[in-house]
Amino acid sequence: MKKIAALFVSFGLSVSALLSQSESKPNTFFPKKAFTEPQKKGNFFFFWGWNKEVYTNSDIHFSGNNYDFTLHNVVATDKQSKFDPNLYFGITNITIPQYNYRVGYYINDHYQISIGWDHMKYVMVNDQSSNIDGSIHVGSQYDGDYKNQDFTIAQNFLRFEHTDGLNYLNTEIRRSDMVWSNKFLQVNINEGIGAGVLYPRTNTTLLNNPRYDEFHVAGFGVAAVGSVQLSFFKHFFIQSEMKAGYINMPDIRTTMNASDKASQHFEFFQYNILLGGQFALYGK
């Protein structure tokens, strides 16, 4: 996670340096006219794209009838779909890969507000080594009292995934600055912050319980984001985006019984490739 944080900070510093350079001294390579920013106030925009995630390890606490235990330092990955045009661009399949979509509005020429859905996926690595604290007394082979004991998370003990998915519904405010343009192309730098709720569909098989897989509001998240946007003919764009954030889910459903739950919190880093459009409202 230190490497992830360093990468994100480096990106932010590079953006700041680029902006300060363009403001503090004249550009000798491009004509001055190239940096005249178009009016954005009142513009509506939307985008759709795909993401890739990295997660920090987390402690996961499980509680219910006759059990209460914590698995420490649990490792998880995302679940990237192999590229297939029918999967990524087919109308009936486009929600299967990890995706992002967002709609927003420019409240002035630099600031935008938006709402979006980050459909991430989180898969606990099976058969990994961990440590366990707590007690289990449900009539299984894993019954006992544990105190920071070495423990292998076998598949017949637990399968734990937010794969349909780790859904982050969030609102963001971003600043947008154009750093170069000509008649056909504009290059914009965007940065901002956001917050929202987690609405995962958690696929869980725990101890002797049947598999459970239902949507449930489980917690909240916050994130910072930075992006580079290439806009074509003022209306269409491709955007490369990096996002880093924190997720806290104190109320994850794990079985058909509402008293069975899990909790965890972790940091994430997300990289996105996005396609979008922007248009003026009110006939501007």
HSE-CB for 52 with a 13 A CA cutoff: 9
Question: Is the pLDDT reported for residue 179 higher than 60?
Answer: yes
Residues in CB range of 227: below 8 A, 6 or more apart:
189, 190, 191, 239, 240, 241, 242, 272, 274
Domain boundaries, the chain: 2-280
Exposure b/e, 126-162, CB count within 10 A at least 16 = b: eeeebbbbbebeeeeebeeebeeeebebeeebbbbbb
Taking only the tens place, the pLDDT of each residue in 189-209 is 999 999 999 999 999 999 989
What is the DSSP pairing of strand 219-232 with strand 185-198?
antiparallel
Average pLDDT over residues 222-234: 95
- Percent of all residues in the chain with a pLDDT value above 70, rounded to a whole number: 86
Given pLDDT bands bounded at 50, 70 and 90, which one contains residue 2? low
Comparing 11-20, 41-50, 236-245, the range with the smallest average pLDDT is 11-20
pLDDT at 251 over 90: yes
* Chain mean pLDDT for the chain: 88
SS (H, E, C) 125-163: CCCCEEEEEEEECCCCCCCEEEEEEEEECCCCCEEEEEE
Q: Which has more pLDDT, 26 or 170?
A: 170
* Maximum separation of any 2 CA atoms in the chain, in Å: 76
Q: How many CB atoms lie within 10 A of CB 25?
A: 8
Rounded to an integer, the average pLDDT of 80-88 is 83
Confidence of residue 233 (pLDDT cuts 50, 70, 90): confident
Q: What is the pLDDT of residue 169?
A: 98
- Is the confidence at residue 154, as pLDDT, over 90? yes
Residue 180 clears pLDDT 70, i.e. is over it: yes
The fraction of the chain above a pLDDT of 90, given in percent, is 75
Q: Which of 19-33, 67-81, 201-215, 257-271 is the least confident region?
A: 19-33
CA angle at residue 20 from 273 to 35, to 5 degrees?
Answer: 70
**pLDDT given at position 81:** 86
Taking alpha carbons only, the member of 58, 54, 117 closest to residue 250 is 58
Is residue 182 scored above 80 in pLDDT?
Answer: yes
Averaged pLDDT, 24-42: 58
Q: Tens of pLDDT along 111-141?
A: 999 999 999 999 999 999 999 999 999 999 9
- 66: Cβ contacts below 8 Å, ≥ 6 apart: 136, 137, 138
Predicted local confidence at residue 13, as pLDDT:
47
* Over residues 15-32, mean pLDDT: 45
Cα three-residue angle 267-177-224, rounded to 5 degrees: 10
pTM to 2 decimals? 0.85
Q: Give mean pLDDT, residues 134-162.
A: 96
* Alpha-carbon gap, residue 226 to 14, rounded angstroms: 11
Residue 163 Cα to chain centre, angstroms = 13
